[in-house]
Structure 1
């Protein structure tokens, strides 16, 4: 099996040495997706209609904050479009890592009902090795593998197990969707039970779960704890997110926290009056600095941690 070289990221425009990532990353985003299940078009970032606004935001963030990398976790059944991701990456100069896998149960595609775990893992491995839909674009992460509730549904457990097997086979990492932050420990049990090391796992949406004990346990087991819905005030206040993050940092787990905004509908874009991809940099990180974070900690949280999560390898300090 052709694993990525050590210290190498697999992006939509080719392999990238991790040492080349000198600026911050967004660890869980969507640049193109379609989650519309009710027909109102709200949960959409269209490749044609919204890509220009998305690209404009990324360019502005690259120029103002040095944004270097976006981990784009739109997978099968979520409206993934790797051709559009490649165009956005080239137009903006921001590296983009694409994903493969399956989201949580409401968005499952038909093969999940008909294939077993081994066959589903094979589907993912083929995309990772050969590229998505004949494009030659190879995913660089598995995600966002989803579940809802405290225990994954049977079909979700199947997807998580398949994703873990594909990750082990290809040397990639796994990022999850834990609906409203719940079920992360159960996800980690399933993933590590298939032989995937915990340090190749990021448990998603933990900033929506007001339970510092769970966050500490995930980190103690070696997994990354994703505070990845920053700015989504309809789900959680940033004040609560900051309190939860500070608790994790104070417990000694700064090297296991990931940060992002999870922009997942066009109403979140700046040109639509939303907080945009830059909310992390413009609003949340200044609050973290005011709470005592220095430049090295910010670099750890926004650059070294996400790159280490993707590669499994140590990242040099700036």
Structure 2
């Protein structure tokens, strides 16, 4: 693929010199009870933009991979507005979440039909926005083995990835079922290095992580800071075990902000917890800056594009500011806790 497909236009990987949040939500609606807790909507947008802008200034945040897909309250024009307001590039997603959130078209959709839906959206854009997804995800399952509809979605995701060059990121609820997800994806011919198995920091099983990484898949430690599910101390132990096994080039890191109470403005850990709270623990454990750059920048960019951008360095030619929308392919500006 070669370029990062963002909501404001394509970017070459080497234009992104700062860290990447590999699995986040900036806009979503998972509310099924009316309480509005699992929502990031219009009223939260100023706080979200302010957090991202602060992280750009404080830590050089360059890119957010936004995993809100079909049936999750996705809003591509809102993502473009947030990107411009914050100056942080954003990648939008396509796919279907796990079965409880499937849209009606899944029930009657064959693998072939679902593949066509994804490919059309990737090629033509989301609705009438012209904004094209840059990743297929978070494609979900919720047990040790995907249900029949979830299996069809995973197979369609793999076929669409092969047809378009995008990568596939999964939602493995509570970290379970990653091996079965990868088997379905690779069974359709998808190379394992084009897949990221989600929420593995919620699974206290270093052996399972090693097996997935040895097979070639990315291992997403993407719920960092969600202490009500798993302590960061356990996450740190699991990640260090993966590094000690020689799989630093397979690790992806993020926080999966998916409820408005996680925002800093509401007293939560915020999008910056990875940088403020977790990475200092890695450094204290002796992990060098080169490995941190590998996990927070090079790995996610290689996952998205198939290209390793290499060590950070100067951009060899001027490139539009990621949030400006002034580059080639830019889109006009008019354009109960469930997740882990």
Measured against the shorter chain, the TM-score band is: over 0.9
Counterpart in the other structure of 1:237:
231
Residues 241-296 of structure 1: CA distance to partner in whole angstroms, max 9, x if unpaired? 00000000000000000000000010000000000000000000000000001111
2:283 alignment partner, one of 277, 286, 289: 289
Counterpart in the other structure of 2:183:
189
Question: Per-residue deviation at 1:38?
Answer: 1.1
Counterpart in the other structure of 2:61:
67
Higher relative contact order (CA 8 A, sep 6+): 2
Question: Per-residue deviation at 1:91?
Answer: 1.0
SS for the counterpart of 1:114 is: coil
Question: Per-residue deviation at 1:316?
Answer: 1.1
2:11 alignment partner, one of 11, 16, 20: 16
Counterpart in the other structure of 2:195:
201
2:79 alignment partner, one of 76, 79, 85: 85
Matched, 1:31 2:26: yes
CA distance in 2, matches of 1:102, 1:49: 25
CA distance in 1, matches of 2:44, 2:156: 32
Counterpart in the other structure of 1:212:
206
1:102 alignment partner, one of 93, 96, 106: 96
Matched, 1:49 2:43: yes
TM-score, normalization by structure 2: 0.91
Counterpart in the other structure of 2:329:
none
Question: Per-residue deviation at 1:313?
Answer: 1.4
Aligned pairs (5 A) from 1:103-252 = 103-252=97-246
Root mean square deviation, CA, Å: 0.5
SS for the counterpart of 2:107 is: helix
SS for the counterpart of 1:79 is: coil
CA distance in 2, matches of 1:45, 1:314: 32
Moved over 3 A (4+): none
Question: Per-residue deviation at 1:308?
Answer: 0.4
TM-score, normalization by structure 1: 0.98
Question: Size of the alignment, in residue pairs?
Answer: 312
CA distance in 2, matches of 1:310, 1:232: 25
CA distance in 2, matches of 1:50, 1:92: 14
Unaligned runs of 5+ in 2: 313-340
Residues 25-59 of structure 1: CA distance to partner in whole angstroms, max 9, x if unpaired? 0000000000001110000000x110110000000
